Structure 1
Amino acid sequence: MSQSEIILIRHGQANTGAQDEESYDKLSATGHQQSAWLGDYLRAQDTAFDRVICGDLRRHQETAAGLALSQSIAIDPRVNELRYFDLAREYQAQTRKPLPSSAEEFAQHAPQLFTAWHAGRLDSAHESYRSFADRFGQVMSELTELGGRSLVITSGGVIGMAIAQHLSLGPEGFAQVMLPIHNSSIHRFSIAQGATQMASYNGTPHLDAADRRHARTVI
């Protein structure tokens, strides 16, 4: 099997004040800036990709446009994010627990939510946990078979699930991996002779300068 590298990028910061999927699905001014800085970084590294894949969500495509890469971009809805607000509202209806209103509350809420989702209690509101895991797993398998260097512009939940599957983590582990993922961050998997290794997690080299650290966002 040929060697390959799969690089996953989380979209830039989206509309953080949103209360539903549709209004969340657009980049903030900070998200546009993060994407432009990341594009500058990738070009400075003289990075070339054999293929670039992007979800069909608006925030994915705005991030891809901000990167301003020379390669053509393939749209694949299998790299779309889970619908958090739909899951959270169904969970609220079942448990009467309020939706989180802060980062601290979200950190407590997400493991409980994903555990309920994993148990099949939220499937009426969303695709199953297994379906979500499997659809991006199929993409990873296909990219591994193709070889070369692949760039995937996606979301934190997809990246977190890819890592959770690689490390054989359950829903609580998935939540803990996903929660710290920065907007526009870089995550690398390297594959050689059939063995996959996670080479890097949550890299933000384009935001490391002191005058850019304010742009390290997770929500």
Structure 2
Amino acid sequence: MGELYLVRHGQANPGAKTEEDYDRLSDLGHAQAALLGTWMRDHEAPFDLTLAGTLRRHRETAEGMGYTPDTFDERLNEMEYFALVRDMEAFHNVAPPASPEDFATHMPQTLAAWEQATINGSEPFATFETRIHSALSEAAKPGKRVLCVTSGGVISMVMRGALGLSTDQMAHVLLPIYNSSLHKFRIRPDGTFLMAFNAVPHLDPPHLADHRTHL
């Protein structure tokens, strides 16, 4: 059997108002990536293949971990959330989230509207789903260990496929995903099976509690 390890990027720019401004690690994000890389080298065997999305925050996270991706694949890039936010305001009169509490309400509404095609963002929901599954089905094979540095929306979509989640359930899986968290799946000929979700063993020590972030 094979193994697929998905890593969410380190903290980016939580105060950003555009995709471009968001797409860079904060100082804390760089620290999270370095701590995860150290933990991985101490506790995990080498990988047969390392992948990353093409976004700056993916590259910076992989570099901070000390891994050089074999392939940068744009199919592993995040949904353009700010484009979806604009569509929700334009077509559903739903204001952009102004706080983490608003975000927790806004995300399920947004994913539901996106799946139902009442908003489109920068791509249809079905395209987002298909590109992720195609990229990982090509890479993750029985007998291979694959590491992929990506984003929370991608991870939640893989969870949706592995566990048969509804879009509402997918949204609620997405919301608590930590920056620099680790998610493990077992790859078998009969399917993809979850082994670990949202693990942050590199941030377990109490003195690193302030390094555990969601945004």
TM-score (norm 1): 0.94
Aligned equivalents of 1:146, 1:53: Cα separation in 2: 17
TM superposition shift of 1:91: 0.8
What residue in structure 1 maps to residue 123 of structure 2?
127
Tell me how far apart the structure 1 counterparts of residues 52 and 168 of structure 2 sit (CA, whole Å): 27
> Counterpart in 1 of 2:12?
14
Partner residue of 2:95?
Answer: 98
Amino acid in the other structure paired with 1:192? R
- Correspondence list, 1:14-163, <5 A: 14-69=12-67, 72-123=69-120, 125-145=121-141, 147-163=143-159
Shift of 1:94: 1.1
> Distance in 2 between the 1:162 and 1:91 partners?
24
Q: How many pairs were matched up?
A: 215
Look up the match of 1:165.
161
One-letter amino acid matched to 2:178: H
After superposing the two structures, state which structure 1 stretch, 10-19 or 134-143, moved more: 134-143
Secondary structure of 2:187's counterpart equals strand
Stretches of structure 2 that go unaligned for 5 or more consecutive residues are none
Consecutive unaligned residues in structure 1, runs of 5 or more = none
Q: CA deviation at 1:46?
A: 4.6
Q: CA offsets per residue over residues 127-170 of structure 1, 9 Å max, x none?
A: 11111011111122112336410000000000001101221122
Normalising by structure 2, what TM-score? Answer: 0.96
Q: What do the CA deviations read for 1:180-200 (whole angstroms, capped 9, x no partner)?
A: 000000000002343321000
Provide the C-alpha distance between the structure 1 equivalents of 2:190 and 2:94, rounded to a whole number of angstroms.
44
**Distance in 1, Cα, partners of 2:127 & 2:189:** 27
Amino acid at match of 1:159: I
Q: Which moved more, 1:38-47 or 1:199-208?
A: 38-47
* Residue 73 of structure 1: how far off its partner (Å): 3.1
| SS of corresponding position for 1:145 | coil
SS of the counterpart of 2:51? strand
1:183 to 169, 179, 189: 179
Instruction: Letter of the 1:22 partner, please give it.
Output: E
Residue 213 of structure 1: aligned partner:
209
Deviation track 1:60-93 (CA, whole Å, cap 9, x = no partner) reads 0000110013x55311111000000000111111
* CA gap 1:197/1:135 in 2 versus in 1, 3 angstroms: same
Residues 1:162 and 1:46: Cα distance change in structure 2 (over 3 Å): closer
* Structure-1 separation of matches of 2:191 and 2:44: 27
Question: Aligned residues: percent identity?
Answer: 41
Look up the match of 2:194: 198
- Match of residue 4 from structure 1: 2
